[in-house]
Amino acid sequence: MTHIGIIIGSTRPGRNGEQVAKWVLQHAEQRTDATFELVDLKDFPLPHLDEPMPPMLQQYQHDHTKAWSAKIAGFDGFVMITPEYNHSTSGVLKNAIDYLFAEWNNKAVGFVSYGSVGGARAVEHLRLVAGELKLADVRTSVSLSMFTEFTNFTEFHPSEYQAATLSTMFDELVAWSSALAPLRDRQLTSQQA
């Protein structure tokens, strides 16, 4: 069965991403077409990229990289929960993405973002990064405004219509993750040869 990782893309104290991720997981667990797992970047404390070799070579020297690689390699697709900082995603999420290459290839990704304009600019940035990593980004994304979806900018109370958008994103994400399975199988076979 398709296995999707829900990545919490913030490690900031008092972050809103954890509330958002739990809401995403709650809706995901109602589905029967895939399994879902939270991946908290707080559990993978990656320093600024410190591998001497390019990620494309998969010649990892550090245990933290090997653990991150093993976690990401086990998924068929991803939901990235991202805040918007200065018209982009968080540094910690971008750093975590940059650590790897092949582990992202031929998988699908959907985005759930939050910020003053719903995190839309962070998602636009991540879509460019996804293309370089051979991650197929699905069209539908969930954009959560800090003004309308959070009380006092801290307590998450999503509008009902957001659940429908999330469901559409999941539909696209599972379909694309499943459709890309033959490419992942071919990639795995060529790596083992």
Distances in Å between the Cα of 38 and the Cα atoms of 18, 51, 101 are: 10, 25, 20
pLDDT band at 187 (very low <50, low <70, confident <90, very high): confident
Instruction: Examine the pLDDT at 191 and tell me if it is beyond 80.
Output: no
φ and ψ at residue 108, rounded to 5 degrees: -105, 155
Q: pTM of this prediction?
A: 0.95
- Structural domain harbouring 71: 2-192
CATH number at residue 161: 3.40.50.360
Question: Cα–Cα distance between 79 and 52 in angstroms, integer?
Answer: 29
CB atoms within 10 A of CB 65: 21
Overall number of domains in the chain = 1
Question: Cα–Cα distance between 153 and 151 in angstroms, integer?
Answer: 5
Instruction: Examine the pLDDT at 52 and tell me if it is beyond 70.
Output: yes
